[in-house]
Structure 1
Amino acid sequence: MTACSKENEIDRCCVRQQQRGSGQVHLRQSVMADPWQSVMDHAVAVARKAGEMIREALQSEVSIMHKSSSVDLVTKTDQQVEQFIFTSIREKFPSHSFIGEESVAAGQPCVLTDNPTWIIDPVDGTTNFVHGFPFVAVSIGFVVKKQPEFGVVYSCVEDKMYSGRKGKGAYCNGLPLQVSDQTDISQSIITCEMGSNRDPEVVDKIFSSMRKILCIPVHGLRSAGTAATNMSLVASGVVEAYFEIGVHCWDIAAGAVIVTEAGGVMMDVDGGPFDLMSRRVLAANNKTIAARLVKEIDVFPAKRDDAPEEESQ
């Protein structure tokens, strides 16, 4: 090899090294500019695997246990799926915090801090799961500095993967979501849930709200049996609104991002600002529909998810 060709080869090597170095810099800059995309990608992968676990469990006999009452159900699948999600997150993101339905039921605190926090319902719609009613979802919300960053809801029987990322839109199986443009409440379908509280006064309040909304009149009331699915239906434009009192943060953390990124609104059932820990939620396609529903909802108190333990007993 001549001296000239050696110099040319050295120059080419230097260029390749510079290009590799430049690519690594761009990759680092991309990660720094958007630190949560890889976290969301992991959430989607974990939700899909968790959904597979749930579908497999649906083929076998379900072992049922109870939490606060005979209608507040939990299964081994709830616990196994949450443990799988928790382990996967802890291995990849050891500094992150975690709020899960089953871990809170087991005595873990339900406190939201500024630390990046995963808020998870491993099987949203446990009663549906027990009875084979085909709406069961994995709900994974991610909150940074107490503000929702992204949400993933996997309706595993339907094989529908809903996702929403702050400022980046909402999607179902890769297709963009958009809420309904309906502004006439009488042309709307509303979803709601009865929850697991069977106190007669609470039940009366719930049915009072339902009666008043039906008599507006609206086209209909529906109940999927899972908050995450109800909110995904709002985001999809299938229904105009969903409301519930007594819901938990792990039921709605993911759906809240999906609804807002699809163009919808989130608020308290009394019309005030949405508070993730308040156990009260109204998700709607727009403020007009939401404001009309607020007039008809009989509000009743619900202990906050983050209430001190002595207060929540």
Structure 2
Amino acid sequence: MPVKVSEEDVQGFLEKAIELARASGELMREAFYKDKKVDTKTNHADLVTETDGAIERDVIAALKEAYPDHRFIGEETAVDGKQCDFTDDPTWILDPIDGTTNFIHGIPDFAFSLGVTVNKEPVVGVIYLPIPDTMYTARKGKGAYCNGKKITANVIHEVSQALVMSEGGNGRDETVIRTHSDNLHQILTRSRGLRAYGSTAIDLCKIACGQGEAYVQYDLHCWDMAAGVVLVREAGATVMDPTGSGLDLMSRRVLVATSEDLARQISAMLSHIANGRD
């Protein structure tokens, strides 16, 4: 049986996520201007700082206190190689610092990202950029907002008019990198240009507020996109698997475009990569 939550409950999830984003942003701002202790995870490009871990611990502890019956998935507490326990229960999916490499290198483009799913469907998304103090919020069926002002995607239908975003990713498998490079070549040949801000969350914020028309990425994780999926959908964009099928949040890949026509055009250009599952 599907899990039932009230509209009041979902609004409460949104308010709690905003509260935690603001508190986490204070920690991120303070740490940004200090020397950082940096460790690697899977390889030299997959980085983590003590701030990532501290924020995740604080946020999940607060959520467990407020919602003891809910489930929680966090980037830094995910067990390497083990699939996430993703159920119909209300689930909070957290990336404490999306754009850790930017954070480490003194680039202010990084974000706190927190999404909530119910029945495996994203229903709340909060993305907070602490340096410019910019808060993106969305609730399923209620629109997308930036600092309280409603935002909408810049809807176009032709790839020749699109600014497309994608990231290099943290993986360093040679075959994956080659396929990704070939895909970017196909897109660049046909589109107005490519952009990479170093953070999936920020890329999706750009699309939601009309500063780009598409995003495609393989080799990412559910915590990279859970919040952003709600935001771009509520801003009017289409979200799907890069193959053209429906989005599977655990599939580690996503295609977002500001119209279904545009999404289908981009999908047809791509050589698809299977990255396993979260």
- The TM-score, its normalising length taken from structure 2, stands at 0.95
Report whether the alignment pairs 1:230 with 2:203: yes
Q: How many residues align?
A: 274
Give 2:104's aligned residue.
130
Over the aligned positions, Cα root-mean-square deviation in angstroms equals 1.4
* Residues 83 and 277, structure 2, Cα contact 8 Å, conserved in 1: no
User: For 1:263-278, what aligned pairs fall within 5 Å after superposition?
Assistant: 263-278=236-251
User: For 1:1-313, what aligned pairs fall within 5 Å after superposition?
Assistant: 33-105=7-79, 110-216=84-190, 218-305=191-278
CA distance in 2, matches of 1:194, 1:152: 24
Change in Cα spacing, 1:242 to 1:32, as seen in structure 2 (3 Å) is: closer
Letter in 1 for 2:242: V
CA distance in 1, matches of 2:7, 2:30: 39
1:105 CA drift (Å):
4.2
- The TM-score, its normalising length taken from structure 1, stands at 0.85
Change in Cα spacing, 1:230 to 1:107, as seen in structure 2 (3 Å) is: same
**Amino-acid identity (%):** 41
Change in Cα spacing, 1:33 to 1:290, as seen in structure 2 (3 Å) is: closer
1:32 CA drift (Å):
5.2
1:74 CA drift (Å):
0.7
**CA offsets 1:41-83 (integer angstroms, 9 cap, x no match):** 0100101110111111011101110111111111100000101
* Residues 13 and 124, structure 2, Cα contact 8 Å, conserved in 1: no
DSSP-derived class of the 1:122 partner: strand
1:106 CA drift (Å):
6.7
DSSP-derived class of the 2:76 partner: helix
CA distance in 2, matches of 1:259, 1:148: 11
**CA offsets 1:115-166 (integer angstroms, 9 cap, x no match):** 1110000000111111112210100000111111110011122211111101
Deviates more, 1:232-241 or 1:105-114: 105-114
CA distance in 2, matches of 1:141, 1:245: 19
CA distance in 2, matches of 1:207, 1:123: 26
**CA offsets 1:157-202 (integer angstroms, 9 cap, x no match):** 2211111101101100000010002222112110001111112211
CA distance in 2, matches of 1:275, 1:146: 9
CA distance in 2, matches of 1:51, 1:110: 26
Structure 2 residue ranges without an equivalent (≥5)? none
Structure 1 residue ranges without an equivalent (≥5)? 1-30, 306-313
CA distance in 1, matches of 2:152, 2:22: 23
* Residues 119 and 249, structure 1, Cα contact 8 Å, conserved in 2: yes
The structure, 1 or 2, with the larger RCO (C-alpha pairs under 8 Å, 6+ apart) is 2
Deviates more, 1:107-116 or 1:41-50: 107-116
The answer to which structure has the higher helix fraction is: 1
CA distance in 2, matches of 1:206, 1:107: 22
1:35 CA drift (Å):
1.7
Deviates more, 1:240-249 or 1:289-298: 289-298
1:288 CA drift (Å):
1.3
DSSP-derived class of the 1:190 partner: strand
Which 4+ runs in 1 deviate beyond 4 A? 105-109
